[in-house]
Amino acid sequence: MRITFNIHYFTDAGQKVCIVGAVDELGAWQIVSAKEMDCRGDGQWTLDVEIPVFVKTLDYRYVLKMPDGTTISEPRGRKHKVQFSPDQERYYLFDYWQIAPENPALYTSAFTRTIFARAPQAYPAKEAGMEVIIRVCNPYVEKNQHVAISGNQDALGMWQPEKAKEMICTHFPEWEIRLGINEITFPVEYKFLLRNRTKQECRWEAGENRTLPPLPRHEKAVFVVSEYPYCDNRTPWKGAGVVVPLFSLRSEHSFGIGDLHDLKLLVDWAAHTNQRLIQILPVNDTTRTHTWEDSYPYSAISIYALHPVYISLKEMGALKDEKKTASYHRKQQILNKKNVVDYENVEKYKLQYCRDFFEQEGSRILKSAAFKSFLRTNQVWLLPYAAFCFFREKYQTSDFIRWGEDVRYSPRRIQTLCREDSKVYSELSFTYFLQFVLHTQFRQASDYARKKGVILKGDLPIGIHRTSVDAWIEPVYFNSSGQAGAPPDDFSETGQNWSFPTYNWDVMERDGFIWWKKRFCKLEDYFSCFRIDHILGFFRIWEVPTDFVQGLCGHFRPALPFSVNEIELFGLEWDGRLLKPRIHRRFLDELFSAEARKYLDAFLIDEDDEHLILKPLCDTQKKIESIFKNHADALSGEIMDGLFAIASEVLFLKDPYEQTKYHPRIAGNKSFAYAELSARAQTAFDRLSSHFFYERHNAFWKAEALKRLVPLIESTDMLICGEDLGMIPASVHEVMTQLHILSLELERAPKLPGEHFACLSRLPYLSVCTTSTHDMSPLRLWWEENPEKRQQYYQSVLRKSGTAPAACPAKIAAQILKNHLCASSILTIIPLQDWLAISDALKHPRAEDERINIPANPHHYWQYKMHLTLEKLLESDEFNQKIRSMLADCGR
């Protein structure tokens, strides 16, 4: 089968247009083997290739080869595709160089597989002959519409919309029409239009008429003309949604915690109120201790395994033992009545139920074709995960360093352990069973959401726990000598320490970031959109030394630390004491009360007549934490916090990778050490810090992010959002814009300097607008706990006079939400608590109970639960109508 590729592309001297594709004849996707095209002049490039007749479908991409050998490819995910008919002998392909579409979000699976999803259509079979196929991409087509084509001849309806030819959607969002070569007269002029089913309403595309010049004649030839995307001049699409942790859902059938059956009810509510998206927090397994500390959803022990607490017992099946059934029903009622998630008892009793059900039905399920298919597809990660769970229980710890002979992962030992004749196979197969049930239920919920036209948005944590399956089996990817966290911000004055290991990005780069691509691939099993938690971690991570508890004395990695000479060029005389934590006696009153100062001799010793230093027994934050571990009284907490502050009293930190270079401590100008500097030295330190944190790394971090993010984004067609809050380098916005990653925008966390509140009408279109996040106080609580901010917002944003009410009434909450729904962002996603705030009848009785997380507390218990059931939410007609009306009024 002979194919002639044609593309119109003007090049500069020395540049060549090439093709790379999925077959050997086009280089098998190896850029170095891409086939050079022939230039016929005036920007016309062609290539004749003989393709084996057994090739049914061909994917390919155009590449521009520069004089120095470097290449530029068409953008992310934009491959050309052609399907061949076995009866045709000759194909002429007329393409264009693909660029990012005007609204790239609409080309992601969130829209092509959910919002505007269509089943593929097929042309009726007909005898081979000369025909012209005209194609155009347009994802923005509602369910009651189709794309049509009309033009300057009878075969195209002579520009009459009602006679325009309906196009077939063979591979959404691509539309095409097939015309016999004898039906048309060259040259052809035409345009595309949107038309509804009754052909009564239509909308022509914008722009000039399109033209098709005369084509060569060849018996049994097919001419495939791929047009530039549909020129749409409509108002850009906007949608709204809800965000809530899965564990926070409550229904009449849940077991003390939200589950995958409840997710379907939430889909029903979203669809009922015309919301188009549901966002949930991570749902991966976090089980390390079987205590409430495992409630932290961002501390996964596996990037693949789902948490067993999310199994719907209702959907899994009933027990035949009536006594056990009655017992579990009593426990269910007790747990469902609780105002918060009782994590430990939920996990305990749900796992007991699952074991009882496994004893009853496990043998049958393990023999089923569905289970065998699941095991075969997922065994690469499932077997090590099951073994990890087994060893965790055997050694009573998830810390594999304490696993004796099993400290190092051995694939051979795991294969032996997981054989069906193994003594522990029953325990391992129970883990397989749990993951099979979770996967099955989650896929059903995902498919259900798609059918309802509701996007499911997942959450990708930036880190994994240091005692996780991944750290055990692939330790080369992780740096366990550092702890990931975040620098000081509005959430925490002392920074955050998440305790996750940081990444060895150089190792990951060498294998093409396969570990990350696998994570993305797993998300695609359930989601068509996801949020990258702390996307700044792809630029640089805040790495905290392992002897620190707080995040204040971290440093960026990768970074460009200063040499002593560079520091002195700023006018600051180098002194090694700038690295050593100490405290001047005159500052003790600011850290400790008179009562606390009575005990300081046990922890501090003199360095000189004026300064004190920490004794060896408490000269790190980890040692201090250990001393006070079993002391919960307020005085002990005060002393511990004061000693923590002294341990952070440095102005520079030695780089752990280049011992002769140094990082200025962040927020150093707020330290006591800074207060001791001369005015001249303070000015020098300020200039040095400003340059280091806001200027020095911009280009460097941009290059690092592109190197990591580009190959990952090209591996998926999901809609990607980034959590870009906090200390944001200038390059972050540039990279996210370039890669079409949606930013996160909050009115109360403006990104422009000098703003108190962000202007919602000026937010980027490719962004997610929200009223609050899980790391913040929900709307009502924020209103109550910030009197000064509340009054400023009341007057400057809501344009109201007088004194703002102390509590946020439903009417004001509705106005705030409506402002957010009218924002310029493509998506406005409202936390469930803030949706409920617009109804005095439905809102939570206590605003303080709606908070999900407190970032400053690394040991926070994640246990927020809805105070009403999803069934009641679905029945709240007045409330639901109010949401529908708000969305309609705001064009969402």
Give Rg (Cα) of the chain: 31
Q: Nearest Cα to 620, choosing from 652, 643, 638, 601? A: 643
Q: What is the mean pLDDT of residues 854-877?
A: 94
| Average pLDDT, integer, range 400-429 | 95
Give yes or no for residue 76 having a pLDDT over 90: no
Q: Please, which pLDDT band fits residue 25 given cuts at 50, 70 and 90?
A: very high
Residue 892 clears pLDDT 70, i.e. is over it: yes
Cα–Cα distance for residue pair 532/713, rounded to 1 Å: 11
569-625 pLDDT, tens digit each: 999 999 999 999 999 999 999 999 999 999 999 999 999 999 999 999 999 999 999
Per DSSP, the three-state class of 264 is helix
Residue 661, judged by CB atoms within 10 A of its CB (0-12, 13-18, 19+), counts as middle
Cis amide bond preceding 124, omega within 30? no
Is 216 exposed, middle or buried (CB count within 10 Å of its CB: 0-12, 13-18, 19+)? exposed
Please state the separation of Cα 59 from the chain's center in Å.
28
Going by pLDDT thresholds of 50, 70 and 90, the confidence category of residue 453 is very high
Residues linked to residue 224 through DSSP beta bridges, in sequence order = 93, 133
What would the pLDDT profile of 98-136 be if each residue is shown by its tens digit? 988 889 999 999 999 999 999 988 877 666 668 999 999
3 state DSSP class of 692? helix
Render pLDDT for 657-682 as a digit per residue (tens, 0 to 9): 999 999 999 999 999 999 999 999 99
* pLDDT of 719 above 80: yes
245 pLDDT exceeds 90?
yes
pLDDT for 283-328, tens place per residue? 999 999 999 999 999 999 999 999 999 999 999 999 999 999 999 9
Contact 254, 262 (CB under 8 A): yes
pLDDT band at 753 (very low <50, low <70, confident <90, very high): confident
Q: What is the pLDDT of residue 201?
A: 82
Beta-bridged to residue 478, according to DSSP, are 503
What pLDDT was estimated at residue 181?
Answer: 87
State the pLDDT at residue 100: 84
Q: Which of 792, 717, 708, 801 is nearest to 756 (CA)?
A: 792
Residue recorded with tokens 């309802």: 452
Assigned token pair, 725: 């809050």
pLDDT at residue 219 is higher than 80: no
How is residue 717 written in tokens? Answer: 């067609």
Q: What single letter denotes the amino acid at residue 784? A: E
At 217, the pLDDT band (50, 70, 90 cuts) reads confident
Mean pLDDT, residues 731-749 taken together: 95
Q: For strands 827-831 and 767-770, give the pairing.
A: parallel
* Confidence grade of residue 400 (pLDDT, cut at 50, 70, 90): very high
Coil, helix or strand for 69? coil
Maximum pairwise Cα distance, the chain: 102
d(Cα 650, Cα 877) in Å, to the nearest integer?
Answer: 59
Reply yes or no on whether the pLDDT at 710 is more than 90.
yes
Is residue 510 over pLDDT 70? yes
pLDDT digits (tens, 9 = 90+) for 154-199: 999 999 999 999 999 988 999 999 998 888 999 999 999 999 988 7
**What is the rounded distance in angstroms from the CA atom of residue 594 to the CA atom of residue 613?**
19
CA 703 to chain centre: 21
- Token representation of residue 702: 């941009």
User: What is the rounded average pLDDT of the residues 537-557?
Assistant: 95
Flag whether pLDDT at 78 surpasses 80.
no
User: In Å, what is the CA distance from 815 to each residue of 773, 800, 821, 835, 841?
Assistant: 19, 12, 10, 11, 17
Cβ burial, residue 15 (10 Å; 0-12/13-18/19+)? middle
pLDDT the model gives residue 29: 93
What's at 736, amino acid-wise?
M
Residue 702, CA distances (Å) to 272, 462, 662 in order: 43, 18, 22
What's the CA gap between 648 and 494, in Å, rounded?
Answer: 10
Whole-number percent of the chain with pLDDT over 90: 90
Tell whether the model's pLDDT for residue 74 goes beyond 90: no
**Predicted local confidence at residue 77, as pLDDT:** 64
Inter-residue long-range contacts of 341-345, CB under 8 Å, 24+ positions, other chains counted? 341/247, 341/248, 341/256, 341/257, 341/295, 341/862, 341/863, 341/864, 341/865, 342/256, 342/863, 343/257, 343/291, 343/292, 343/294, 343/295, 343/309, 343/861, 343/862, 343/863, 344/290, 344/291, 344/292, 345/256
